[in-house]
Amino acid sequence: MKGKTVNEHPPTENHVARRTVDGDLIEWLEVPERARLLNLEPHPEGGWYRRTWTGTNPVETENGVRPAATLIYFLLPPGENSVWHRVSSDEIWLWHGPGSLVLEFGGSGEEPQMTDALTLGPAPQHGDSAQALVPAGTWQRTIPSATEVLVSCLVSPGFSFDDWQLTQEG
C-alpha cells in the first residue's frame, strides 16, 4: 500500500475507496456482492467490515474510555488478506464461512515475527477452528484464500482506531 500513486477519481461508479485511518486514498475497489448485501466498507488493513454492535457499558482504559466490547463483520473475498496489525484489546474471531482463512500470529514485539497460525473454517476433523482468540497487543494478519470467508470479530474493551497499529509495510 505504501508508495502507490492512485487517481483520486473512481474508475467506475461501482468502485469505492479504501482509505487510511487519516483519510488518504489507498486504492479503488469493486464492491463484492456479499459486501454490498451486508453494507460493508473497505477496511484500511484489507478486507471489508461494518460494526454491528457496540456495548453500552463504558470502561476506562489507558487510552481513554471505551465501550466494554464491540463486534464487526469482516469479509475477505478470494485473494484478499489483512496485513500485519495489532489491537490493544483482546479480539475473538468467529467463523461464519463459507470458506476458511489462515490467521497468523506475530508475537507482541515492536515488529511482527510469525509465531503461530491457525485455520478458521468448516473442518474441525482437519484442525479447523470455529473461533480464535488474539490476545491484546499480539500482531495478526490473514493469508489470502481461494474462497470468500465471513467472520465476526469481538473486541474487548471495544475497538478504537486509536488503539490499533498497522505495520509500516501496510
- 150: cell is 465471513
Under the banding of pLDDT at 50, 70 and 90, the label for residue 144 is confident
Q: What is the pLDDT of residue 3?
A: 42
pLDDT at 27 over 50: yes
Q: For the purposes of burial, counting CB atoms within 10 Å of the CB of 123, is it exposed (0-12), middle (13-18) or buried (19 or more)? A: exposed
Q: pLDDT-derived band of residue 8, with 50, 70 and 90 as boundaries?
A: confident
Query: Are the beta carbons of 119 and 100 closer than 8 angstroms?
Result: yes
Query: To which residue does cell 464491540 refer?
Result: 70
List C-alpha distances in Å: 27 to 8, 95, 168. 9, 27, 17
Those residues with Cβ within 8 angstroms of residue 6's Cβ, 6 or more apart along the chain or in another chain = 25, 26, 27, 28
Over residues 41-68, the pLDDT tens digits come to: 999 999 999 999 999 999 999 989 999 9
**Which residues are bridge partners to 25 per DSSP?**
19
Straight-line distance from the first to the last Cα atom of the chain, in angstroms, rounded to the nearest whole number: 6
The per-residue pLDDT for 16 is 93
Averaged pLDDT score across all residues of the chain: 92
Q: Which residue has the higher pLDDT, 107 or 14?
A: 107
Mean pLDDT of 12-19: 85
What percent of the chain lies above the pLDDT cut of 70? Answer: 94
The C-alpha atoms of residue 61 and residue 66 are separated, in whole angstroms, by 7
| Per-residue pLDDT at 159 | 95
Pairing of β 149-156 and β 90-98: antiparallel
Higher pLDDT residue, 120 or 10? 120
